[in-house]
Chain A
Amino acid sequence: MIQRLSYAFRETIASFRRNMTLSVAAVITSAVSLLLVGTTFLIQRAFDNLLTQWRGDVGMIVFVRPDVTPEALGFIKQNLESQPNVIDVKKLEYLDKTQSFAEAQRVFAGDPTTLSLLSIETIPSQFKVVPKTTDPELVRSLANQYRTLPGVAGVSLAEDEFDVISTLSGFVRTVTIGMSLVLLAVAVILIWNTIRTAIFARRREIEVMKLVGATDWFIRVPFILEGLIQGLAGALVSCAGLWGLNSAWTSGVAGFKSGTGVSALVVPGSYVNGVMIALLVIGAVAGGVGSGVASSKFLDV
């Protein structure tokens, strides 16, 4: 078994050397495509952070002062529920201090100054309001009305906050996903072609192997391994690129004034690590599948 493994590895390395140019091309292409895939993930996550407050058609948020009395809180709730024509009462949601604090961790991910000022005691709780009406003016007038209620710290309207961002997010998502899929396909084709060339370069050897009774898998494994390693190498390069990009972005965002909203466009390190692992898996699988298909196609007995 160990002997077979060492055989497979020796052959893989030798083949990699023989096809240096093609192998490097395959690695670079998969690196670029995977980098784009990774970047798509990060951009999406950044936008999600920004929009996290407004998920689920929330159109208005009524912030309640942290020191509100239970009576005042009850009054605000009653007031909201008394507008069934403008507000979707069934979807009305109240986030208490603990929940609001958890949400703030995402919203202010890139804004440590603001984060350090927050605590469960001092954070406002909030009502998430889903409007029933499509008339923005109606919602706006309602918002102005609520601002004056006792215990209300402020009212935010989705319109003011994120309409542009939301549209932009959808557009960027479509474009980057499309581009990365195309590039990924190119990478698989390049790996496929590299393996085909490698098989052609060794056709005499393969002929002899078949005649002396080597099994198909014995012949195939070094080629599949080669493609898998190309995919994995590309993924490693893309991980390095992604890490660099994200670091540059994070330190760039830190330069913005806090509270401008841009700070939410920062992605936590744990998420980046997850994306990098995903890229390694995608790279290995794409390379393995590409070379596997090529080696079964061109190694017919």
Chain B
Amino acid sequence: MGAPPIPALIARLVYFMIRLENVSKMYGSELPAVRDASFDVPKGEFVFLVGPSGSGKSTLLRLMNRQERPERGNVWVAGRNINEMANSQIPFLRRTMGNVFQDYKLLPNKTVFENVAFALEVIGKPKHVIGQQVPQVLDLVGLSGKEDRFPHQLSGGEQQRVSIARAFVNRPLILLADEPTGNLDPATGEGIMGLLDAINRTGTTIVMATHDHRVVNAMRRRVIQLDRGVIVRDQERGVYE
């Protein structure tokens, strides 16, 4: 697959943050985890990937930050075909995206501040930038005053806020969220969704995998539904069916 003509490239860069072209992914000889998936995610959009467990939601997210590579098809992120990217370029791709997980993936031996600062530290941001940006983002997620707590001293909702702060502190273009409310009670989950909505309003494109009906129905955003690896519905302002 050669490079697309320049105007098409620019169009993608400006408009589509993510584009999947006939993407298939298999694990071993099992049924494909994702089969022939194609869709575009415009810049600044909020997309839900819905479907039962094992329908391929997480695989789609993992294809978007190249934790996985598809057997067939192309994945474009911010105008670049990430399947053709050299391994050495992947860290720089990932600096343009944040990741949020159901199990938070916080480092237990680091404080709230250190967990968030870690994301900036490992990409070589200078200390004064870290000292400036971390308090800002902790304020945004509502955790000011809890900088020195350790993850085990926080509630699940607070831990997820730390994880969102870590994903957002570098002001990514894209935020990929894999069942972010999966471990939380409805009220706490609502708070997290409010936070993601606020982040989306700053212009960050969000792709969120979930099977939480309430969340999807309350938000009324684009819904892409998967069933055994196949996209069966792609609906603007959709609900969970």
Across the two chains, which residue of chain B brings its CB closest to A205? Answer: B107
| Count of B interface residues, CB-CB < 8 Å | 22
Which secondary structure dominates chain B's binding surface? helix
* Binary per-residue interface labels of chain B (91-131) against chain A in the complex, 1 for a CB within 8 Å, 0 otherwise: 11111000100000101000000000011011110110000
Q: What is the CB-to-nearest-CB distance from B129 to chain A, in angstroms, rounded to a whole number?
A: 11
Q: Is A248 an interface residue (CB 8 A)?
A: no
Query: For the complex, what is the distance from the CA of A213 to the CA of B170, rounded to whole Å?
Result: 11
A212 touches B94 (CB 8 A): yes
**Contact (Cβ within 8 A) B119 A212:** yes
Partner among B88, B90, B94, B105 whose Cβ is within 8 Å of the Cβ of A204? B105
Q: Tell me the nearest residue of chain A to B109, going by C-beta.
A: A205
Is B65 in the interface zone, CB < 8 Å from A? yes
CB distance from B77 to the nearest CB of A (A): 13
Of B91, B95, B119, B121, the contact of A7 (CB 8 Å cutoff): B121
Known: A212-B119, A212-B170. A204 touches B95 (CB 8 A): no
Asked if B166 CB lies within 8 Å of chain A CBs, one says yes
Partner of A218, one of B65, B105, B122: B122
Nearest to B121 among chain A residues (CB) is A7
Point out the residue from A3, A210, A218, A301 that lies within 8 Å of B126, measured CB to CB: A3
Among the listed B94, B124, B127, which residue makes an inter-chain contact with A211, where contact means beta carbons less than 8 Å apart?
B94
Known contacts being A205-B107, A207-B105, A301-B90, is A212 close to B127, with CB within 8 Å?
no
0/1 string, A207-223, CB within 8 A of B gives 1: 11111111110110000
Given A208-B118, A301-B87, residue A213 in contact with residue B105 (CB < 8 A):
no
Given contacts A213-B92, A213-B95, contact A208 B124 (CB under 8 A): no
The 8 A CB mask of B45-78 against A (1 = contact, 0 = none) is 0000000000000000000010000000000000
On chain A, the residues within 8 Å of B91 by CB distance are 210, 213-216
Known contacts A212-B94, A219-B122; 12 additional CB pairs below 8 A are A7-B121, A210-B94, A211-B99, A211-B105, A212-B122, A213-B93, A213-B95, A213-B123, A214-B122, A215-B88, A216-B88, A216-B91
Q: What residues of chain A lie closer than 8 Å to B170, measured between beta carbons?
A: 212-213
Those of A266-282 within 8 Å (CB) of chain B: none
Q: How far is the CA of A214 from the CA of B123 in the complex (A)?
A: 5
For A14, give the chain B residue with the smallest CB separation.
B109
A208 and B105 contact, CB distance less than 8 A: yes
The contact of B107 among A204, A210, A214, by CB within 8 Å, is: A204
CB of A55 within 8 Å of the partner chain: no
Q: Can you report 8 residue pairs joining A to B where beta carbons are below 8 Å apart?
A: A208-B105, A209-B118, A212-B118, A213-B94, A213-B95, A213-B123, A216-B87, A218-B122
